[in-house]
A and B are shown apart, each in its own frame.
Chain A
Amino acid sequence: MSQIIKQEKKRSFVTAPTAALLSLLLPGLGQILARRVQRGLLMFGALVSIVGLLVWRITLLGRLAEGFWPTLFKSLDRAPMFVAFGLLAIAGLWLWIVIDAAKQTNPNRQFGNSIFVLILVVFFTIGWQISEIDLVKLSSDANEAWVPLSKILWPWEAAVTHDTDTVEAGAKVLVDSEGQAPPVPEKTEGEPYLRVSPRKGELSKLDEDNQVIPGTKITVYGENFEPNTRTQIWWSDSIGNEFRPRYQGEYVSVMTDSEGSFEKELIMPYRLIPPSAKGQQIHKVMARQVSQVGPPLPSQPLILTIELIIETIFMGMMATIFGIIFSVPISFLAARNLMSTSWLTLTIYYLTRTVLNIVRAIEPLIWALIAVVWVGLGPFAGIVALTIHSIAALGKLYSEAIEGINPGPIEAIQATGANKLQTIMYAVVPQMIPPFVSFTIYRWDINVRMSTVIGMVGGGGIGFLLVQYIRLLEYKSAGIAVWFIALTVAILDYVSAEIRQKFV
């Protein structure tokens, strides 16, 4: 307390006007000579970085302009608010620093901190510009995000498929050529039946302006189909390529009546006939009823998701187990209370700690990138990455648990005449179990979470699948993966909380 009071009474080396002048020449110098060294350095640092950042952004904005003024004007043109505010803020800040320098020479003055609020505001503004924040985009493009998002939120139609059954009949037509029309197809008892009239005609064509010249209108008659069912009309050209003709953009289809019959008018569709095609062109009109049969079956995305979520959970588990195996011995080396007996052990302690901290500071995703180079794509790379990170994280946590051990029971057990092993078993292990279980479960939780994303960089698990689906714009399949990830993490959360509660 007395020290602080003494500091407050420190006399300034310079008078107020001198301090102001000095800070005008070199911002912060006045404060430093008024014996507010930290404050001076802070202000100098803040102003220099603000000027530096602004110069950088202005240079970027005024790219391709030659010279100082053209660059400045171009940047002002492109981001007038930002550049103007930045320049004004620097001027204002500089002035404020000058005034502050004068004030700081008064030894009884309280530290005014509102200047740091201004500095923060300036940094915030620059940060806004650097990170290209665009609120207009955020709202104007929101509806574009809604389509994939809604598919991801409710993807379950993609989770099931059905086997399908097809009922089909066709009738031949002669197109664009002279000759005998193909015969009317023969009826077979109990089979669907189709005929067209007329059985010859012209296909639709395109003129020079790509305008459609409609072809011959034909009528399709169907019998013996499934009653009251939507029926697709298909077209097959002379070499057997099938396609669905459209009318006004929609696929042509028809409902059968209660007898299973229908009648549908159809303009012969456009089909490019290569000039090399010789002889009679026989095409085929087909009517097709596709119906789902049998029970709903899991779809391919659902099966893949389940397979990979299992892989993911096991990746997390394996990484945790390997993490435990390696981190337990390491944690002894990183426990200060065990390693402070001599300078050699203390050196090992500091070395271990440092390595653990460095390894832990590197994110598992980055370890995964390295591991993919090391052992190739796939779950093993993910396990290697997670194991490395787990060893470091668990090693640190375990060693802290060892450091937190109460020496009392150890002393008491030793006093009974127990040997070293017995002492560890009876006095150390019981104390270690709760933190050990708690940290391990916690780590398992993290590892499973991490393995859901580690696939994104090729480390195996569900993340890989998720990225594939998103890239292929299959949002429903992606949605299934997202749901399974969320479910797994939620269940894991609950289970790990339960286990931890039991042991602590």
Chain B
Amino acid sequence: MLEIKNLTKIYPDGTLALDDVSFTVEDGEFLVVIGLSGSGKSTLLRCINRLIDPTKGQIIMDGQDITAAEPSELRRIRRKIGMIFQHFNLVDRSSVMTNVLSGKLGYINPWASLLHKYPPGAKKEAMAALEKVGITDQATKRADELSGGQRQRVGIARALMQNPSMMLADEPVASLDPVLAHTILGYLEQLNSESHISVICSLHYLDLVQRYATKVIGLRDGQVVYRGDREDIRKMTDGQFKEIYGEEAVRVNAGEFDQGEK
């Protein structure tokens, strides 16, 4: 279980990106964060594994306070939290295999890893992860030779190497076409339902939100302006959606991808 309590983030330049945000994520939940560009979604996700240090508030995961963790403790927490990104964030010049294996870095001897030495089972594990996302045949290619959809699958495989109990996904499908969006979110849903990995995911499209979320929070200017469960989302109207997104928002079908925000 993940508890976020009174989380506030003020950037050094004074931007208030998160303003007293509180919510909980039960194990096995698929939580979707929605909100306009600049509303604080990325900031929120990055505070959870402390890629960004929050200014105030607490993040408690399974009883452990992440915000108070020492560096070595933090690394142990991070390896339990997989993360995928809008722009995939693969190391372009390394092979797919190396990218996937780097998901194991938190577990292995740092000195051995500098020489690219992995424990015996790691390679097999990496192949298994690639198999889960259906791209075993791409293992030896360089990451920048893959298509967008394939890259995001490598991103998922890398996160799977961490053996995570939670997945953070920051707009994982925003730079993919709609068919691929469903494939990628399908993998996350599968992890969520089969392996009981909780997912926290930011999305922009109501259709996708309605299809995948078990719980939704809406952010606006760093504040939570909407909370809803599966039922609420099903019933959500364009009007409510607009309220969260402001007047500029248009409902976009995932099928006919418009630029939306971003």
Do residues B87 and A433 form an inter-chain contact, with CB atoms below 8 A? Answer: no
Residues in B whose Cβ lies below 8 Å from that of A415:
49, 51, 78, 81-83, 168
Q: For the complex, is A427 an interface residue (Cβ under 8 Å from B)?
A: yes
**Distance of B201 from chain A, by nearest CB (Å):** 15
Interface string of B46-60 (1 = CB under 8 A from A): 100101000000000
Interface string of A121-134 (1 = CB under 8 A from B): 00000000000000
Residues in A whose Cβ lies below 8 Å from that of B76:
417
Do residues B79 and A411 form an inter-chain contact, with CB atoms below 8 A? Answer: no
Interface string of A282-304 (1 = CB under 8 A from B): 00000000000000000000000
A413 closest partner in B (C-beta): B102
Do residues B105 and A416 form an inter-chain contact, with CB atoms below 8 A? Answer: yes
Give the distance in Å from the alpha carbon of A431 to the alpha carbon of B89 in the complex: 12
Do residues B75 and A418 form an inter-chain contact, with CB atoms below 8 A? Answer: yes
Q: For the complex, is B94 an interface residue (Cβ under 8 Å from A)?
A: yes
Residues in A whose Cβ lies below 8 Å from that of B106:
416-418
Do residues A409 and B89 form an inter-chain contact, with CB atoms below 8 A? Answer: yes
Residues in B whose Cβ lies below 8 Å from that of A411:
46, 51, 85, 89
Residues in A whose Cβ lies below 8 Å from that of B155:
412
Interface string of B237-255 (1 = CB under 8 A from A): 0000000000000000000
Do residues A413 and B105 form an inter-chain contact, with CB atoms below 8 A? Answer: yes
Do residues B78 and A417 form an inter-chain contact, with CB atoms below 8 A? Answer: yes
Q: For the complex, is B113 an interface residue (Cβ under 8 Å from A)?
A: yes
Most buried by B among A412, A418, A419, A421: A412
Interface string of B96-113 (1 = CB under 8 A from A): 001000111111001001
Do residues B79 and A416 form an inter-chain contact, with CB atoms below 8 A? Answer: yes
Do residues A421 and B81 form an inter-chain contact, with CB atoms below 8 A? Answer: no
Give the distance in Å from the alpha carbon of A363 to the alpha carbon of B139 in the complex: 49
Q: For the complex, is A414 an interface residue (Cβ under 8 Å from B)?
A: yes
Q: For the complex, is B90 an interface residue (Cβ under 8 Å from A)?
A: yes
Interface string of A402-435 (1 = CB under 8 A from B): 0000001101111111110110011100110110
Give the distance in Å from the alpha carbon of A76 to the alpha carbon of B122 in the complex: 90
A412 closest partner in B (C-beta): B89
Give the distance in Å from the alpha carbon of A236 to the alpha carbon of B165 in the complex: 107
Q: For the complex, is B162 an interface residue (Cβ under 8 Å from A)?
A: yes
Do residues A427 and B91 form an inter-chain contact, with CB atoms below 8 A? Answer: yes
**Distance of A159 from chain B, by nearest CB (Å):** 47
A-B contact count (CB 8 A): 81
B162 closest partner in A (C-beta): A416
B51 closest partner in A (C-beta): A411
A415 closest partner in B (C-beta): B83
Do residues B79 and A417 form an inter-chain contact, with CB atoms below 8 A? Answer: yes
Residues in B whose Cβ lies below 8 Å from that of A427:
91
Do residues A431 and B83 form an inter-chain contact, with CB atoms below 8 A? Answer: no
**Distance of A341 from chain B, by nearest CB (Å):** 10
Checking A414, A416, A425, A430 against B114 with a beta-carbon cut-off of 8 angstroms, the contacting residue is A425
Do residues B110 and A419 form an inter-chain contact, with CB atoms below 8 A? Answer: yes
**Distance of A23 from chain B, by nearest CB (Å):** 50
**Distance of B50 from chain A, by nearest CB (Å):** 9
Interface string of A428-461 (1 = CB under 8 A from B): 0011011000000000000000000000000000
Q: For the complex, is B234 an interface residue (Cβ under 8 Å from A)?
A: no
Q: For the complex, is B220 an interface residue (Cβ under 8 Å from A)?
A: no
Taking CB atoms and an 8 Å cut-off, the chain B residues in 180-204 that contact chain A are none
Do residues A422 and B90 form an inter-chain contact, with CB atoms below 8 A? Answer: no
Q: For the complex, is B41 an interface residue (Cβ under 8 Å from A)?
A: no
Q: A413-B105, A416-B79, A417-B79 are in contact. Are A422 and B89 (CB under 8 A)?
A: no
Q: For the complex, is B93 an interface residue (Cβ under 8 Å from A)?
A: yes
Do residues A412 and B105 form an inter-chain contact, with CB atoms below 8 A? Answer: no
Taking CB atoms and an 8 Å cut-off, the chain A residues in 61-101 that contact chain B are none
Q: For the complex, is B158 an interface residue (Cβ under 8 Å from A)?
A: yes
B113 closest partner in A (C-beta): A422
Do residues B78 and A412 form an inter-chain contact, with CB atoms below 8 A? Answer: no
Give the distance in Å from the alpha carbon of A425 to the alpha carbon of B76 in the complex: 19
Give the distance in Å from the alpha carbon of A412 to the alpha carbon of B152 in the complex: 12
Residues in B whose Cβ lies below 8 Å from that of A421:
110, 114
Give the distance in Å from the alpha carbon of A260 to the alpha carbon of B35 in the complex: 111
Do residues A416 and B78 form an inter-chain contact, with CB atoms below 8 A? Answer: yes
A414 closest partner in B (C-beta): B51
Residues in A whose Cβ lies below 8 Å from that of B82:
415
**Distance of A113 from chain B, by nearest CB (Å):** 43
Residues in A whose Cβ lies below 8 Å from that of B98:
426
Do residues B75 and A433 form an inter-chain contact, with CB atoms below 8 A? Answer: no
Give the distance in Å from the alpha carbon of A415 to the alpha carbon of B105 in the complex: 10
7 A-B residue pairs with Cβ-Cβ distance under 8 Å, sorted by A, are A408-B88, A412-B158, A415-B78, A416-B162, A426-B94, A430-B92, A431-B91
Interface residues of A (CB under 8 A from B): 408-409, 411-419, 421-422, 425-427, 430-431, 433-434
New A-B pairs, 14, CB < 8 Å, besides A412-B89, A415-B49: A411-B89, A412-B90, A414-B51, A415-B78, A415-B83, A416-B102, A417-B75, A417-B76, A417-B105, A419-B110, A421-B114, A422-B114, A425-B113, A426-B94
Interface residues of B (CB under 8 A from A): 46, 49, 51, 75-79, 81-83, 85, 87-94, 98, 102-107, 110, 113-114, 155, 158-159, 161-162, 168
Closest 9 pairs (CB-CB, A-B): A417-B106, A417-B79, A408-B89, A412-B89, A418-B105, A417-B78, A415-B83, A417-B75, A430-B93
